[in-house]
Structure formats: C-alpha cells, structure tokens
Amino acid sequence: MTRFAAPIAEQIWDMKYRLKEADGTPVDASVEATWARIAGALAAVEKEPAAWEGRFAKALEDFRFLPAGRITAGAGTARSVTLFNCFVMGTIPDTMGGIFDALKEAALTMQQGGGIGYDFSTIRPKGAAVHGVAADASGPLSFMDVWDAMCRTIMSAGSRRGAMMATLRCDHPDVEAFIEAKSDAARLRMFNLSVLVTDPFMEAVKADGPWELVFDGRVYKTLPARDLWNRIMKATYDYAEPGVIFIDRINKMNNLAYAETIAATNPCGEQPLPPYGACLLGSINLARLVRDPYGEAPHIDEAELAELVGDAVRMMDNTVDASRFPLEEQRAEAQAKRRIGLGVTGLADALVMLGLEYGTDDAVAQTRTWMKAIARAAYLASVEIAKEKGPFPLFDAEPFLASGTMAQMDDDVREAIREHGIRNALLTSVAPTGTISLYAGNVSSGIEPVFAAAYTRKVLQKDGSRTEEEVVDYALQIWRAQGGEGLPPAFIDAQTLSPAAHVRMQAAAQEWVDSSISKTINVPEDIGFEAFKEVYLQAYETGCKGCTTYRPNDVTGSVLSVSQEAPAPALVSEEGGEVVYLSEPLERPTTLEGNTYKLKWPESEHAIYITINDVIVGGHRRPFEIFINSKNMEHFAWTVALTRMISAVFRRGGDVSFVVEELKAVFDPRGGAWMKGKYIPSILAAIGGVIEEHMVAIGFLEAAGSGLKSDPQAELLTGRRPGKACPSCGSYELHMIEGCMTCASCGFSKCG
C-alpha cells in the first residue's frame, strides 16, 4: 500500500528527494525511509537524539510537515550541501575590487545550491565619475550582466540551477534603466528583478508630487513620482517584471529592526534578509490536517496543529546546526539570529474541504485564524526551546517586543518571550511549494488558489512510448473518494478568481507572518492598465510587504491551460516513431542567394566560415539554410550538427528569430572573448551574432536584439498559445505560481 496519493507524487520523490548512490541505485527503499533519514539527521544534534527521532518522523508522516526540498534531499546524506534555501549576499562595495569579491561569494553560494538576493543600490550610477582613473562609471546594470553570466556558467558546469534576485531602490538614478531591463528578452534571464519602494515614494505617487533620484547626496534627476510609478507598472504589465517590494514596511515590521537593516530578498521574495542573511524553509500541510472533510463538521484540530507546529519548529531550529554553509559569514549570521521560515501549503484545498470558497470573506477570516494559530504555536514552541537551549545570541527583549510584528502578538506570548527569551528571531514565512506540493499528493501550493482541478500529463515510459495520466487536485481526490460527482461546491480555480480576492488572501496571511509571502496574483490578459495598477495600490494599502503579478500575453506566455485541444496532424515515420512538424516546411528552389561571413574566434587556429542562403517568400527575403565550415577538426562534429539543426528550423517557416536569442544565450564555462569592443560569452553566441547580423541585413529583423526569445510555431502543436516549454521535460505546462515558473507536468521550478 503506497503512501503516495498520486503517481506524480511518487515520481517526484524518486526523481528529486530519494537518496541514491552515484550510479542511481536507491538507498531510500521507501518514502518512510526518506522520512527516517531526515528525522535521524535533525535529531542527531539533540542531547538525547532517540527521544526526538520518533517525534520528528511522526511529524513527517503522511506529508503533514514538509521540509523544503533542500532539507528533504540533503539531510542525512553526508553530502557537502547547504540545507538553507535563501541567502542575501553581503553589501556590494562601490569599488571594482569589492564588486568582484562579492561576485566570487555569489558563485560559491550558488555552487552549493543556494538562491541569492542582492541589492545593487550601493553601486554608483552610470556616468558618475570614477576618481583616480579618469573614467565614468558603467552603473549597476552592467555589473548585473556580469552576475547573470556567472550564474549561467555555474549552471553550465553541472551545478544545481541558480536563481537570483536583484533589487534597486526607487530613488537610485539608474532605476529607470532597471525598470526597462527585461524589455530585452536576452538580458538578465537569471535574475528576478524588484524595485525597493519606500513609503515617501508611495506618498508622492498618491499626492502627484515630485521625486528625486539621488546617489551619495547628489540629485541626478527630478521627475513626477507618478511617471516613475507608471513606468514600473507598465513594465510589469508587459513583462511581469519588476516586482515591487515595500521596503520601509519590511524594516518597520522586522523583529530585528534594532539589529539589522534589510535591503534585499531571496529570489522569490518571501525572505527579506540582511547582508549575509540565510533562512531555511518548511511548510505545514493544512490539506492533510482537515478532519471530516466535506462532512457536517469539517475542521482542523487546534491541538494537533499546535503539536505539529512545535515539532516542526524544533526540527527547523536543529537544521541551523546540522547544515553546512557556503560562507563563514552566512554561518555566523544564521547562528546569531537562528531565522527559520515555517509556512503552509494546501491552504486552498483545506478551505474547499471546509466548504469555504477561496477569496470570500469567510475564507479570508479562516485563513487569518489558521495563520494566527500557527504563529502563536511557533512562537511558544521557540520559547520552550529557549528555556532549554537559550535564546538566539542577539536577543534583546524590549526592542524585540517593540517591533511591528510583535506589537500585535497576544499578551501571553509577549510575556513568555520577555521572561524566557526566544530561540528564533523570526519564525514564519510562506515560501514557494510547487514541487513539494506535488510530492505531497498535488495539494494546492502555498496560499495560492487551486490552479486546476485536473489536467492530463504525458509520461515518457522506459520503452520510449508516452502514456497519459490524469493529475487531480488533492481536494478533488478526496471528494471523488467519498462518492462526490463533478466539483466540490466551494471549488474555485485561479482562472476565475478576481485579482482583488488574491490580494485579500495575501493580506490576511501576511498579518501573522513575520517574514513575507511568495505569491503570484494572476490577472486576466484583458485587464485594463488602470485596473492593473489598482492591484498594487490595494496590496500597499492592505499591509502586504510586496506584490507580484502575472498577466499572460505574447511576451510572458500563457498560464497553464486545463483544456486539452486536439493536436495538429503528425507525420509518422516508417519505424513507427512519432515525428511532429509544426508547420509545412518550405520547398528549396534550385538556386539561392546568400552571404558568407568569416568569424575569427580569439585563440582559435582556424577561422570559421558561415554561409547563410535565403529564400523569397511573399516578396520578403528570409533565411533558408546555413553552412558552417572550419579547418579545425575539433569543431567538425558540432558544426555539422548545428548546420543541420538550424537549417531544419529555418525551413519550417514562421518567425525563426528565436534561434538567434538561444545561441546568444549560450555561455562557455571556460570563458568567452572580447570582439569589436563587446564581450561574447561563447563561440556559439558569436555564431548567433552572425546570424542576427544577416537577418538584420536582409530585413528579416528590424534591429539587433529584436528577435523572439521563444518559438512561436510551437502553438500549432496544440491549437492554442502554450507559452514556454519546460526546460526539464519539454511540456507546455509551465505556469507562474508563487513567483516561480513551475511545470505542472514534472515539477520543475525555476526557483528550485
């Protein structure tokens, strides 16, 4: 009898969390063995490990408590990995040496799998004087490009995929360029971007007042605050970035306001952290705690919830001691404050099983009740640990209790902290849970609404064939198991939910979360710009610490579609394998016109010659085939392969400019080269540049950098715009949830 509620859950466990030997031989014989491994590792730091190991295993049982993926995959494995999810790096000095020291620290952290955040506001703006070298500064965005290249290099070396957050203050002179950065589809792909929005700025926006862009005491520009706000809003309306972080609110509410200043967050925004700040994550699975679901008195038992929260807090506090850290500064910061981020998942499913429709007043009230109960239990559990092991080293009772978060806490909790101290400076957060929610039986993710009741997933079998399986939301599984037909009465999905309902739920949860929340407010494609801006103002006015929206369009791609339309006709090879042509290939005329380009890669003995031939279609010239030749035999195999693949794409027709962007995005871990005053990250990127130059010359592209970042012909496969393909499994089931592009088919998440 399997513990898994769905086949996809077992597959996620086997692929991501099951301990295996280097050759793939399983070490964890079952998911129970995985739970035992985690429980043993986190109990090992106790004075009496045997007394806690059983309790920890019970907390993990039936997926009630879900440590974040790095803990689940890494605890008890003896591997040199960090169990922490979130890092904000040290303050970047405004010197060349300091900047590249910070880059090295970021690379070491990402090499161990940590997602990192950086505030680039400390770097002087573009054009500012650099004293002593008679030059002008290149500005923070130029150094962000270097970070972006570093992240690609770390990934290409086989390390865990990276995620980075870059923040810039709303009064930095380069904020306008920062806002527009993602309009270039090929730029800063490894970053999430957020503007640090201050309270004075929001007041200036509401009053339609002026706003100064300042650095080091010098005013570089004054502009209307509303103009800058509208530019932020228009960029995120069009490109889903930058996000908005209400940084003054974060610092005012911070329990540690007396000991630190926050200027950045981790990649998904749920952990605002100080320089070298680190935090680990875990989630209470509310969906698994509902008793008598759909019955006469469905509820979550308060005593069971409090006990589970207490064990989860102790497990996470022990993780601080059990984990490795990429940098000594991160270890010292974690030990001094012992931050943890305990959150929830399965909230929407739990509400459905109680008969409450997500986003309604009753659901908002129930969410607030659950989140307060978790916060109370977490703080009281941390006090109990402090009695035994001592409070966190930087604890100072009066300023701690005077913080914005603690000021609203119940009196009995405040008195307990005043008398005994507290083990953990901050305890609650709502993190992205896309993958672990699938692992737990496809419960709804975090505090997000259910994204789809069910969808069909194509599964690649060992023999190469593909089968289809239905992936059903956990609350719907329970409904069906009880004989229910159709959808439960309170069921509502993200497609039909109003943006205002999203914000109400985020604000209700935020009231009792001392860190922050990773949540995406999905808005319809046809939402008006003024209505879109109101979403952000509502988030600010209702106490949210940040706001992230996602509007599906031709740039961002579509959200997950639950409809399964008939695929386009496919051609089948004689061997029986399926070969899908996305459009009719162009026919080759007898003669073609073209151009040959000479590409000399530095330190390469022989030049590469690239010939691109064109065809006339509808009176317009377009690329049809490419030939790549070189006397260097080291290049022979891959140049032949590249020739054939690019030519095949060209012959499909349609807008094939995405080929340029894909090639230009390839980074060589051995380093690139400077060509014509510009850094080219790889020889493949150089070839992409030649193809782009040719496309511009023949009028196929208007200008360099104007090509597509994805393949528009892919929509013909299903008859609908599918958005972007999953980089892990290739399916068109990516959707934005909790600030992360997440694949519903395989569990891939951009944020790890």
Catalytic machinery residues: 266, 268, 270
Tell me how far apart the alpha carbons of residues 323 and 71 are, in angstroms, rounded to a whole number.
Answer: 9
502 within 8 A of 522, measured Cβ to Cβ: yes
**First CA to last CA distance, the chain:** 30
Structure tokens at 692: 């782009």
Q: What token pair was written down for 61? A: 């049982």
* Segment holding 693, helix H or strand E: helix 683-697
For residues 243 and 194, is the Cβ–Cβ distance under 8 A?
yes
Going by C-beta distance under 8 Å and a sequence separation of 6 or more, which residues neighbour residue 61? 32, 35
Q: In whole angstroms, what is the distance from residue 745 CA to residue 728 CA?
A: 10
- Sequence length of the chain is 752
Kindly report the backbone phi and psi dihedral angles of residue 735, in degrees, each rounded to the nearest multiple of 5, phi listed first. Answer: -145, 155
Do 501 and 358 touch, CB atoms closer than 8 A?
yes
Find, among 188, 232, 217, 119, the residue nearest to 540 by Cα: 232
| Residue 151: both structure tokens together | 């992240």
Gap between the Cα atoms of 10 and 13, Å rounded: 5
Q: Which of 41, 25, 20, 64 is nearest to 436 (CA)?
A: 64
- Answer whether 632's CB lies under 8 Å from 644's CB: no
Residue type, position 354, single letter: L
- Contact status, residue 628 vs residue 687, Cβ threshold 8 Å: yes
Query: CA 281 to CA 279: how far, in whole Å?
Result: 7
Residue for token pair 């943890």: 340
Nearest to 116, CA basis, from 349, 377, 361, 329: 329
Nearest partner of 247 among 306, 313, 307, 202, judged by Cα: 202
Helix%, strand%, coil% for the chain, nearest 5: 40, 20, 40
Amino acid occupying residue 392: F
Contacts of 481 (CB under 8 A, 6+ apart): none
Q: What distance in Å separates the CA atoms of residue 61 and residue 57, rounded to the nearest whole number?
A: 6
Q: Quote the tokens at residue 729.
A: 């499994």
Angstrom distance (rounded) from CA 40 to CA 21: 19
Q: 30-54 burial, b if ≥16 CB within 10 A, otherwise e?
A: ebeebbbbbbbbbbeebeebeebbe
Peptide bond into 242 cis (omega under 30): yes
**Burial bucket for residue 478 (CB in 10 Å: 0-12, 13-18, 19+):** buried
Pairing of strands 278-285, 243-246: unpaired
The two tokens of residue 674 are 């400077």
Calculate ∠ Cα 162-165-171, nearest 5°: 160
